[in-house]
């Protein structure tokens, strides 16, 4: 059995498109910091996400009045791979042919 958390607000792209969504700068900063923290976590393990976009950030909680209550998590790790950019020199990494939309592709892909 697989149990997963449900993102009640949908993805960040959907939230940003909503007309009633008027986030303060502190809310946007908190969301940005959470995404950065997730990316730093991946880099610490030598992993490149490969498809970082608003559609791949799920919004679990959103509070405009209290930015610290917001909760955003990264998803869609289908293009994830190891990177020699973050590994010790001399280690090997396999390459894969990936079909990625060019406008969203990270330079490492």
Reported as a single tens digit per residue, the pLDDT across 37-69 is 999 998 888 877 778 889 999 999 988 888 899
For residue 80, CA distances in Å to 21, 37, 52 come to: 31, 17, 10
Helix (H) or strand (E) holding 22: none
Average pLDDT over residues 94-100: 43
Domains and CATH numbers, the chain: 12-86+95-104 (1.10.510.10)
Task: Indicate the pTM of the whole model.
Answer: 0.68
Angstrom distance (rounded) from CA 109 to CA 107: 6
39 class by beta-carbon count within 10 Å (0-12 exposed, 13-18 middle, 19+ buried) = middle
């Amino acid at each position: 059995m697989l149990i997963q958390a449900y993102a009640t607000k949908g993805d960040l792209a959907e939230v940003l498109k909503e007309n009633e969504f008027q986030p303060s700068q502190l809310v946007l900063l908190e969301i940005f910091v959470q995404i950065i923290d997730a990316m730093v976590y991946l880099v610490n393990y030598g992993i490149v996400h490969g498809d970082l976009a608003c559609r791949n950030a799920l919004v679990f909680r959103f509070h405009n009045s209290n930015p610290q209550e917001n909760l955003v998590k990264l998803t869609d790790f289908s293009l994830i791979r190891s990177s020699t950019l973050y590994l010790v020199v001399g280690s090997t990494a396999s390459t894969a042919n990936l079909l990625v939309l060019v406008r969203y592709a990270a330079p490492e892909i």
